[in-house]
Chain A
């Protein structure tokens, strides 16, 4: 019987997108059955066109080329710069893009589930989401997670 991995993806930032898709695609390669439940801001990871960003604001651990005081981080364009820098770094280091990892998840049969309550809460349009996703609620998650070998809240 295949091992099972159940993930809740609740973050919609560029850095928050990596752990769920990276672990899910790797788990499938290791023979796991995987389901990811996307809730709250994590729903942004299901959009056809991903426009994920990373912000140094409120994240004092983010490495910056020069120290940038919090008061300066509110300047328009700084988030754009931090995102550009992170994407460049990821590429330089041969790290897969979020799109690439998500495509692998879809191709290898990871079950992507949108939390229906938060879809309704934020008035998300399911037509904006990639094809092949399903929807469900807390009980759907717990039914699978109850039998899972690994469960993660990200």
Chain B
């Protein structure tokens, strides 16, 4: 897994909470910093890439391990 600055575990939470919490975490980060987002909501497969695309916070990496999804998002320029 690539390097990250902040970790956010949303395990057990369902749509739309992972997206809302990711948004909040990113808003408190400086641009260029990376967020490790952990999600168990299966809809996140599609939702997090959509969120990344629409908000301009690039998705650096994604992986799945035993039903748990891991995303590395980089905070984009303000």
Which residues of A line the B interface, CB within 8 A?
A: 22, 25-26, 29-31, 93-96, 101, 104
Total A-B pairs, Cβ < 8 A: 36
Interface size class of B (residues with CB under 8 A): 10 to 19
Q: Which 10 A-B pairs have the closest CB atoms?
A: A29-B23, A26-B16, A94-B13, A30-B54, A94-B14, A94-B12, A95-B14, A96-B17, A29-B20, A93-B14
Closest A-chain residue to B47, C-beta based? Answer: A26
Given A96-B17, A101-B16, 18 new contacts (CB under 8 A): A25-B16, A25-B20, A26-B19, A29-B19, A29-B20, A29-B22, A29-B55, A30-B51, A30-B55, A93-B14, A94-B12, A94-B14, A94-B17, A94-B41, A95-B14, A95-B15, A96-B13, A96-B14
**Chain B residues, CB < 8 A from A101:** 16
Digit string of B34-57 for contact with A (CB within 8 Å is 1, else 0)?
000000010000000011001100
**Chain B residues, CB < 8 A from A93:** 14
Digit string of B7-38 for contact with A (CB within 8 Å is 1, else 0)?
00000111111011011000000000000000
CB distance from A70 to the nearest CB of B (A): 31
Of the listed residues A94, A96, A101, A104, the one surrounded by the most CB atoms of chain B closer than 10 A to its CB is A94
In the bound complex, how far is the Cα of B13 from the Cα of A96, in angstroms?
A: 8
Contact assessment for B14 and A26 in the assembled complex, using a CB-CB cutoff below 8 Å: no
In the bound complex, how far is the Cα of B41 from the Cα of A29, in angstroms?
A: 17
